[in-house]
Amino acid sequence: MNIEYLRRELSPSEKPGLDITDPRLVDIATLAQNGEYMAAAVAVEGVFEEGIYDVRLMGFFLYGLFLEDGVRGLKEVFSGLSFFLETNWNYTGPEKKREKHGQVGLGWFFNQLLKKLQHEESSKGGIWQQWLQETHSDDAGDALEAATDLRRVMSQVLEDAAEPLLDGLLKISDWLRAFQRLVYTEEAVAEEAPEEAEVSEEEKQEKVAAPGGAGPRAPSGDGLLVEGSVHLELLLKKLKIFEQLMEKEMYPRAALVADDIMQTIENFDPRLYFPKLFSRFFMLLALRSEDVMQFEEMKESPEWQAMREFFKVDPDAFVDF
């Protein structure tokens, strides 16, 4: 995939973009619908190669660029899109409802990108490990700066149509910020350890409990293991760093880390740290929301208060009451 297609300076065209009857519009969209994202991106690149640029296809091309280079390549993707919008927006097809089509096409890219980032974070598979190994904290920082510039450009170029896109890009930036802190912490730990420490028996057990680098896990009430998110992984690393600093009597640094950890505790949101723990709860609530929420008005009743106290003292008996 050649990102330089985003950095071309286009010339005015009598009728930019693909004609509505051009079969490539449907063919490329079908590839993406079927999950053949790289094939769709390569097909769009072929259209760009002909000098035809259509915002309805742009999201597929951008996503292909991301799939090739991962998180470390996001800076170039965001900055390339900024350049394209600033330089070539008026020369991009289609002429009619261009802003609306841009909102849909770019919105697909941001939504798909965020889903991919969150999925790989949750699965802790090979792609996630590759991102951690190949991405420097500076790469994530550069991507954040490029995202900030892209938000400015989209606001100027797309105006009102940019609003949902800005929201999507903001969520991606939040994810990147957490990822940057995680990578930075891993880099700091690597610098602190000149030699590989011996693996303790406890650490060996943790690896057995989470095979394949499945990510941080915490015990649930039944002694089971609950998988955490990148935010939990970062918190665990901070706790480890605090212990190392205390052992080395590096108290000023330890105080800074302790303050950061205390802020995390004060603002602790379990949904952020243990998303999989709550996934079934929210799924069932969404499926039966009308059945459950119809009792909202009972919250202040004596019966509701009594049942609430009963549930607090004996949850198991509450089920069969």
Q: Tens of pLDDT along the chain (321 residues)?
A: 899 999 999 888 778 888 888 999 999 999 999 999 999 999 999 999 999 999 999 999 999 999 999 999 999 999 999 999 999 999 998 988 999 999 999 999 999 999 999 999 988 889 999 999 899 989 999 999 999 999 999 999 998 899 999 999 999 999 998 898 888 877 776 665 554 444 455 554 444 344 444 455 554 444 456 677 888 888 888 898 888 888 888 888 888 888 889 988 988 888 888 887 787 787 777 777 777 778 878 888 888 888 888 888 888 787 777
Between CA 197 and CA 244 the distance in angstroms is 13
CA atoms within 13 A on the CB side of 213: 12
186 CB contacts (<8 Å, ≥6 apart)? Answer: 132, 237
**C-alpha to C-alpha distance for 31 and 39, rounded to whole angstroms:** 7
DSSP, collapsed to helix, strand or coil, labels residue 180 as helix
Q: What is d(CA 66, CA 106) in angstroms, rounded to the nearest whole number?
A: 14
Q: Radius of gyration (Cα) for the chain, nearest Å?
A: 25
Distances 118 to 111, 217, 219, 272, 295 between C-alpha atoms, Å: 11, 17, 22, 12, 34
| Cβ–Cβ < 8 Å for 53, 88 | yes
pLDDT at 213: 44
* 79 touches 65 (CB < 8 A): no
| Residue whose tokens read 């097909």 | 43
pLDDT of residue 209: 41
Res 223: pLDDT: 45
Would you state the pLDDT for residue 212? Answer: 40
**Alpha-carbon distance 257 to 262, whole Å?**
9
